[in-house]
Amino acid sequence: MRSSLFSFALLVTASLLAPLILSSCGGGGGGSGSQGLPKRVLDLETGVLGPLTRNVGSAPAFGLTKIVFVEIPAGSLLAGQSAGTLGQQADETPGTSVAVPTFLIAQDELTQAQWLALVGTGDRPWLRLAPVGVTGSSLEGDRLPATGLTFDAITAAVAAWNADASVTLALPTNVQWEYACRAGISALFSWGDSVDPAVVARYAHLAAVAPATIGTRQANRFGLHDMHGNAREWTAAGELRGGGFSDHVLRARCANHLDGVDISTQHALSGVRLILTVP
């Protein structure tokens, strides 16, 4: 039985966190912005969860067998995108604002090494993919995002891992995903509305022929990397969000979602970013 050595801290309110987030972002988009947000580390091999006590880049296990989760502050979300704005689609029309409780979401997309630690079977979906067009979807690397993941495979792997754990992994809801992606921004992207290639390239890995190492683009205001581009991310609703490495920038908009996707079929650009629940 995996055991947790972690005692969950009291939730920090959004009103206390907001000044920290905004003051660290500057006048432009994105920014690190997460220095005031608590982070937790989950070891997939032992099930132990604890606070982040060292620089992520100084420990080789991060991105391999350990996942860093960011505690996202509570707030509200008006999902979608206004009619007439760039790239807006009919199913993205904003509805009503909804409250979003605090939750923990992975700082990065699940890597290939983390997938192997999660499933424990040696299964490598990214190697079973025939290249799609010019995309290098069958590359292998410990810190590349795990792609070729079906919704069914992810939910089965997470359920099996949870059965022997004292914490619970899951896919984010659409509301959680978009709230985390926007990080307090109501624009097209977490950095604003700019589609200038130089700006886009700072925050998103898009229009490429292969995935990139996680965390190589600037984070959003919550400190989350690759919310736009690199791997399309499954949500609990069986939809794909954020765009993938070969997608055009408009496919990576905060509001865009691919629904009606076959959840049992491998898609070359599809990966996942997990959330974590602590009893």
pLDDT at 24 (0 to 100): 30
* Order of all β-strands in the sheet with 257-258: 257-258, 240-241, 232-234, 270-271
pLDDT at 30 (0 to 100): 41
Q: Which of 273, 172, 174, 267 is nearest to 214 (CA)?
A: 273
Residue 2 falls inside a structural domain: no
pLDDT at 184 (0 to 100): 93
Name the domain count of the chain. Answer: 1
CA distance 116 to 126: 12
Residue 183 falls inside a structural domain: yes
**What is the mean pLDDT for each group of 10 consecutive residues in the chain (279 residues)?**
34 30 33 68 95 69 89 95 87 90 98 96 87 60 94 98 96 97 95 97 95 95 97 96 95 91 89 95
Residue 7 falls inside a structural domain: no
pTM recorded for the entire structure? 0.85
Residue 141 falls inside a structural domain: yes
CA distance 176 to 97: 13
Residue 9 falls inside a structural domain: no
The residue written with tokens 């000044």 in the block is 19
pLDDT at 219 (0 to 100): 96
Residue 105 falls inside a structural domain: yes
> Looking at residue 78, which CATH number applies to its domain?
3.90.1580.10
What is the β-pairing status of strands 240-241 and 232-234?
A: antiparallel
Residue 157 falls inside a structural domain: yes
What is the β-pairing status of strands 232-234 and 270-271?
A: parallel
pLDDT at 57 (0 to 100): 53
> The domain containing residue 169 runs over which residues?
14-277
Residue 3 falls inside a structural domain: no
